[in-house]
Amino acid sequence: MRRQGSLLPLFILLSGLGIWEAAVQIYQVPHYILPAPSAIAVTLVQKRGSLGHHTLVTLQEMLLGFGLATTVGITLAVLMFEIPVLERAVYPYVIGSQTVPVFAIAPLLVLWLGYGIMSKVLMAATIVFFPIVLNTLDGLKAADADTVSLLRVMRASRWQVLWKVQFPSALPFILSGAKIGISISTIGAVIGEWVGAKAGLGRLMLDANSQLQVSLVFAAIICLTVMGLGLFGLMTLIERWLTPWRHLNHHNV
């Protein structure tokens, strides 16, 4: 059953590609409108050096942005949790930060931080920040009240309650926020690159598009997708490693 389950998506992919290939060949679609999958594959191989270089740039932006957002996001959420006044003061702005479209601030960040990597890192961070803060805060609040009381009776300090109960119970929430965050960090990085960058997959796509090298655009999209899937997979592994108690074989005694 499990084998069938993993083969099914592959089957859909292959039949989709087959139909696509056939359609392009039969209707003689020009390559600058829609290249055939085989042409994209050829581009992937031919331009692997350039694609690899730009992929690494984008990956770096995403990872740095993600790291920045999780560090700042978790810290802010813990502070908001511990200091209710701070939560009341800051919460509307955290929500507000999500309602401002990244597209709108991208030109500003490029204006302020230039064409280098920093503006893209900040773009990615802005997008990742929101699910991290919100999930961390929700997770901290979801800690079992009776367990917290038990620790109070044991005369645990506030810091001990946070570290031994509230933070561990928030961890699954934080990690699912991180899974969302890492997947959407591409959006920030690529949009940043569109607005202005020296390198990166977004920049490559923009150049290829203007030169009607549509197969290269597709090749870049494939690189983005594979990278996103890889990072999501990596986060899932990290999640399993950090929260082993959630993945037990329930051998009830």
Partner 1 sequence: MRLQIQDLTKSFRRGASALDVLAGIHLEAAPGEFVSVLGPSGCGKSTLFNLIVGLQQPDAGRIQVDGLSIDGNTRAFAYMQQKDLLLPWRTVLGNVLLGPEIEKRPRAESRDEAIQLLDQLGLKGFERSYPAQLSGGMRQRAALVRTLLLKKDILLLDEPFGALDAMTRAVMQSILIDIWQQWRQTILLITHDVDEALLFSDRIYVLTARPATVKEEVAVPLPRPRSITDMALIQLKSQLLETLQTEMLHGFE
Please report, as ranges, the residues that interact with partner 1 according to CB under 8 A.
144, 146-147, 149-156, 160, 164-165, 168-169, 171, 243-246, 248, 250-253
In the complex, least distance from residue 248 CB atom to partner 1, rounded to whole angstroms: 6
In the complex, least distance from residue 173 CB atom to partner 1, rounded to whole angstroms: 13
In the chain, the largest separation of any two C-alpha atoms, in whole Å, equals 77
Kindly tell me which of 103 and 163 has the beta carbon lying closer to partner 1: 163
What is the distance in angstroms between the CA of the first residue and the CA of the last residue of the chain?
A: 28
Q: The tokens of 59 are what?
A: 């990956």
Kindly tell me which of 170 and 224 has the beta carbon lying closer to partner 1: 170
In the complex, least distance from residue 140 CB atom to partner 1, rounded to whole angstroms: 15
Residues whose CB is less than 8 angstroms from the CB of residue 27 and which lie 6 or more positions away in sequence, other chains included: none
In the complex, least distance from residue 125 CB atom to partner 1, rounded to whole angstroms: 28
Kindly tell me which of 76 and 165 has the beta carbon lying closer to partner 1: 165
Distance CA 218, CA 229 (A): 16
Kindly tell me which of 90 and 242 has the beta carbon lying closer to partner 1: 242
Kindly tell me which of 39 and 171 has the beta carbon lying closer to partner 1: 171
Torsion of CA 101, 106, 107, 111, to 10 degrees: 140
- The DSSP symbol for 116 reads S
In the complex, least distance from residue 78 CB atom to partner 1, rounded to whole angstroms: 18
CB distance 223 to 51 below 8 Å: yes
How many other β-carbons are positioned within 10 Å of the β-carbon of residue 158? 11
Kindly tell me which of 198 and 246 has the beta carbon lying closer to partner 1: 246
Burial of residue 200 (CB within 10 Å: 0-12, 13-18, 19+) is buried
3-state DSSP percent of the chain in helix, strand and coil, to 5: 85, 0, 15
In the complex, least distance from residue 147 CB atom to partner 1, rounded to whole angstroms: 5
In the complex, least distance from residue 145 CB atom to partner 1, rounded to whole angstroms: 10
Kindly tell me which of 2 and 251 has the beta carbon lying closer to partner 1: 251
Distance CA 202, CA 196 (A): 9
